[in-house]
A and B are shown apart, each in its own frame.
Chain A
Amino acid sequence: MVNGMSYALQKRILIILFLLVPIALLAVFALYPALYLVYLSFMSWDGYSPDKTWAGIGNYKEVFANKEIWGAFLHNLVYLGWGLLQNALGLFFAIMLNSKVKGRNAYRVLLFMPYIMNGVAVAYMFNYVFNSEYGSFNTLLHGIGLDSLAISWFGSPKAVNHVLGFITLWKFMGLNMVIYLAALQSVPSEIIEAARMDGASRLQTTLRVVLPNITKVIELNLFLTIIGTLEIFDLPFILTGGGPLGASDTFLTKTIDTAFKFNNFGMASAMSVTLITAVIVVLGLQRLATRRWSD
Chain B
Amino acid sequence: MNAAGFRPLSLIQHLILWAAVVVIVFPPSVLVLNAFKTKTEFSQTSVFKLPDNFLNFDNFGSVITRAHLDRAYRNTLIIIVAAVIGNVLLGTMVAYILGRFDFKLKKAVLGAYIAVSFIPTITTQVATFTVINNLHLYNTLWASIVLHLGTNVLQIFIYLQFLRNIPRELDEAAMMEGASLFRIYRTIIFPLLTPATATIVIIKTIDIYNDMFIPYLYMPSQNLTVVSTSLMHFSSERSTEWELMSAAILLIMVPIVVVYLFFQKYVFAGIVNGAVK
Contacts and interface: CB of A to CB of B under 8 A. Distances in A.
Q: Are both chains from one complex?
A: yes
Nearest to A275: B123
Interface in A1-45: 2-3, 5, 7, 10-11, 14-15, 18-19, 21-23, 25-26, 28-34, 36-37, 40
A19 B96 CA distance: 10
Max count, chain B CB within 10 A of own CB: residue among A18, A140, A238: A18
Nearest to A202: B6
A205 B2 CA distance: 12
Given A101-B13, A128-B31, A179 B24 contact: no
B13 A19 contact: no
A208 to B, nearest CB: 14
Contact of B20 (A22, A30, A111): A111
A238 B232 contact: yes
Contact of B24 (A26, A30, A110, A224): A110
A140 B48 CA distance: 9
Contacts of B2: 193, 196
A210 to B, nearest CB: 9
A30 to B, nearest CB: 4
A74 interface: no
Nearest to B209: A118
B23 A31 contact: no
Interface string A227-253: 100010110001000000000000010
Interface stretch (A60-68, A91-99, A153-161): A91-99
A178 B6 contact: no
In which size bucket is the chain A interface? 35 or more
B126 A37 contact: yes
B217 A260 contact: yes
A220 interface: yes
A288 interface: no
B30 interface: yes
Interface stretch (B50-58, B61-69, B110-118, B160-168): B110-118
A259 interface: yes
A31 B108 CA distance: 13
B252 interface: yes
A11 B101 CA distance: 8
Given A37-B127, A118-B210, A139-B47, A3 B180 contact: yes
Interface residues of B, number: 90
Contacts of B3: 99-100
Contacts of A224: 275
A238 B228 CA distance: 11
Nearest to B250: A121
23 contacts: A3-B180, A14-B182, A14-B185, A18-B96, A25-B149, A30-B119, A33-B131, A47-B129, A111-B20, A120-B212, A120-B231, A121-B231, A125-B253, A134-B242, A136-B27, A136-B48, A140-B48, A170-B23, A170-B24, A192-B1, A193-B2, A217-B276, A259-B125
Given A22-B94, A125-B253, 16 more contacts: A2-B182, A3-B178, A14-B97, A19-B97, A21-B90, A22-B151, A31-B112, A34-B127, A110-B21, A118-B227, A125-B28, A136-B26, A220-B275, A227-B120, A255-B126, A276-B119
List 3 tightest A-B contacts by C-beta distance, closest first: A25-B150, A33-B127, A2-B180
Interface of B: 1-3, 5-6, 9-10, 13-14, 16-17, 20-21, 23-28, 30-31, 46-48, 90, 93-94, 96-97, 101, 103, 109, 112-113, 116, 118-120, 122-131, 146-147, 149-151, 175, 178, 180-183, 185, 206, 209-210, 212-213, 217, 227-229, 231-232, 235, 239, 242, 245-246, 249, 252-253, 256-257, 260-261, 264, 267-268, 271-272, 275-276
